Amino acid sequence: MQLIFEKSVPGRHGVRVARSDVPTSINLDPALLRPTPPEVPELSELDVVRHFTGLSRLNYGVDTNLYPLGSCTMKYNPKVAERIAAYPGFAHLHPLLPQLRLGGSLTQGALQVLHDMDLMLREVTGMAGFTMQPMAGAHGELTGIMIMAAYHRDRGHRKTTILIPDSAHGTNPATAAIAGFQVRTVPSNDQGCIDLDKLRAMLDDDVAGLMMTCPNTLGLFERDVERICAEVHRVGGLVYYDGANLNAILGKARPGDMGFDIVHLNLHKSFATPHGGGGPGAGPVGVAERLLDFLPVSVVIKRDDGTYALEYDRPKSIGYVAPFYGNFGVVLRAYVYLLMLGREGLPRVAEHAVLSANYVMARLRDLYAPAVDRPCMHECVLTAETLLAEHGIRALDIAKGLIDRGFHPPTVYFPLTVHEAMMVEPTETESKETLDAFIAAMREIAAEAARAPESLHAAPVTTPVGRLDETRAARDLNIAAAPLCNCGD
Ligand SMILES: *Cc1c(COP(=O)(O)O)cnc(C)c1O
C-alpha cells in the first residue's frame, strides 16, 4: 500500500486551467510569497479517486458486515435519518444566529426538535426532564454525577463516595474520580449481578450514589434492581443509570419506574446514530423531578404562544457542559429514528436484540461456554477458556481469526471479571442468515484450533496490516505514519 506521496509523478495534473490572458497583479508583500511551490502529490484525478476509493474499501463498518462489538451497539443506521439531517434547513443552521436566543423563526424548527426529543425521551425512560447537551456517554456520566454532587451540596450534605459494580464500564469509575468522588467497587455474585448483601454492608452516610448499568456488562438483567435503588435511597444516596444498554429494554421497561434518579442515554448506540472512530455521539441526561433545577443551561422551553426559546435563568444549574446544544445533528437523527419506530416499533427493538443474542449464545455454547449460565439480554459473554486449555487458543486469536473470515471481532477481555471474555452483541438489525454466517465462522475457528492452532496464532493474514506485537505497540508507541506490511507492494 503506497502513500499518496509515493504515487506522485512530477508534472502530472488533475485539472488543467487555460493560461490566463489578462495581466495578473498581486499586491502582496513579496516577502510573504513562498519561494518554491508547495510539496503536494502530483496526480491525475483518476489516480486520486482510485487512491481514496481503495482506502475506503479497507474500511470495515456496519454497512459492510456484522459488527458484533459487545457494549457498543453497532447496529444499522437508517439512511433516512441521514437524509433528513442533511436538509439545508438543519444542516446550514449556524448556532450563532442571533434569532436563536430571541426564538426567531430561523431556528424554531431546530428548537422544536430538541424540545420534542426531550418529551419523547421522558416517555421512553420515565424520567422528568432531559438535557441534550452532553456529547458522548462518558460526557453524560460526568454531567449526571455533577448533578448528583450539586444536589447533595444544595441539601448541605457532604458525601464523598460513589459505589460502582466490578463489572462496570471503565468510564464509570473514571467519571466518579474526575468529579472528585472516592470510588468503591461493589463485588458481583456468582450470578453475575450485584451482591446485595455486600452492597448493603457498604452503604453508609458517605455514599453519594451508585452507578449501575442494567442490563449490566455481562448482558444480564439485575434482578434486584428495585431493591438496590431503595437501599441506596435509604442512606440518602442517588442511583445513576448508565443507559448504554438501553436497547435491551426499549419499550419494555423504564429506568424511571425502577427507581433511578439520573440516566444517560447513548443516542449513538441505542438510537441508531452512526459512531465509531471517536464520534460524534450524544449522551442526553435525564433526571427525576427533584433534580430538574440542576440540569445544565440552556434549557429549551415552549412558551404560551407556542414558540420555543432557550432559557438561561436557572440559579441552581450546574452551568454549561457543552457549547450551544451539543451535537444537534446526532439528536436529530435519533429523533427521526424514534419517529420511525413509533410506540409499536420500540418494543420490537428490545425483542429482536434479546432474541438475536440468545440465538448466538445457544448455537455456540457447546464450544464457547457462557460466562454465566442463564438467558442473556441484548448481548452474551462467552469465554475461550476451553480452547485455551485444550489448544492454547485465546480470545485474541479468535478475534483475529474472525477478521480473516470477514467479520469484525466481538469485544474481547471485557468485562474484566471474566477470563478470556468475548462479548457478542449482534443487535436487532441483523438477519438470521448473517447471524448463521457468524456462528459458522466461530465454529470453524474452534475446529481450526484443534486442527492447526499455529494458523490462528498467525491470523490475520488477509489484511493489509498483520498481527501486531501488542506489547511493543504499547511500550514503544510510534504514531507517525507506519509502513503497512503484508500487502506485497
Ligand atoms: C459505551 C459505553 C459508555 C461510554 O459511552 P461513550 O459514548 O463511548 O463515551 C459507558 N458505559 C457503557 C456501559 C458503555 O457501553
State whether the beta carbon of 338 lies less than 6 angstroms from ligand 1.
no
Beta-bridge partner residues of 264? 242, 285
What pLDDT shows up at residue 104? Answer: 54
State whether the beta carbon of 243 lies less than 6 angstroms from ligand 1.
no
Question: Closest Cα to atom 6, ligand 1: which residue?
Answer: 137
Q: How far is the CA of 169 from the centre of ligand 1 (A)?
A: 7
What pLDDT shows up at residue 485? Answer: 42
Residue 106: half-sphere exposure toward Cβ, Cα within 13 Å? 13
- From 67, 141, 171, the mutation candidate for ligand 1 (largest count of ligand atoms within 8 A of CB) is 171
What pLDDT shows up at residue 29? Answer: 87
- Give the CA distances from residue 105 to residues 117, 299, 311, 325, 326, in Å, rounded to whole numbers and listed in that order: 19, 18, 17, 18, 21
What pLDDT shows up at residue 22? Answer: 87
Q: How far is the CA of 217 from the centre of ligand 1 (A)?
A: 10
State whether the beta carbon of 81 lies less than 6 angstroms from ligand 1.
no
Which pLDDT tens digit goes with each residue over 196-249?
999 999 999 999 999 999 999 999 999 999 999 999 999 999 999 999 999 999
- From 169, 172, 268, 424, the mutation candidate for ligand 1 (largest count of ligand atoms within 8 A of CB) is 169
| Burial of 323 (C-beta count, 10 Å sphere; 0-12/13-18/19+) | exposed
Q: Are 367 and 383 in contact (CB under 8 A)?
A: no
State whether the beta carbon of 264 lies less than 6 angstroms from ligand 1.
no
> How many CB atoms are closer than 10 A to CB 324?
14
Ligand 1 atom nearest to CA at 269: 1
State whether the beta carbon of 242 lies less than 6 angstroms from ligand 1.
yes
Q: How far is the CA of 230 from the centre of ligand 1 (A)?
A: 25
- Per-10-residue mean pLDDT of the chain, 489 residues long, equals 92 86 82 89 95 91 94 94 94 72 70 96 98 96 98 97 95 97 96 95 98 95 96 98 97 97 97 83 97 95 90 95 89 97 96 98 98 96 97 97 97 94 97 98 98 96 89 84 44
Question: Closest Cα to atom 4, ligand 1: which residue?
Answer: 137
Asked if the bond preceding 298 is cis, omega within 30° of 0, the reply is: yes
State whether the beta carbon of 71 lies less than 6 angstroms from ligand 1.
yes
What pLDDT shows up at residue 131? Answer: 98
Domains present along the chain, CATH in parentheses? 1-8+38-55 (no CATH), 80-340 (3.40.640.10), 347-475 (3.90.1150.10)
State whether the beta carbon of 266 lies less than 6 angstroms from ligand 1.
yes
What pLDDT shows up at residue 20? Answer: 84
> How many CB atoms are closer than 10 A to CB 102?
12
What pLDDT shows up at residue 489? Answer: 35
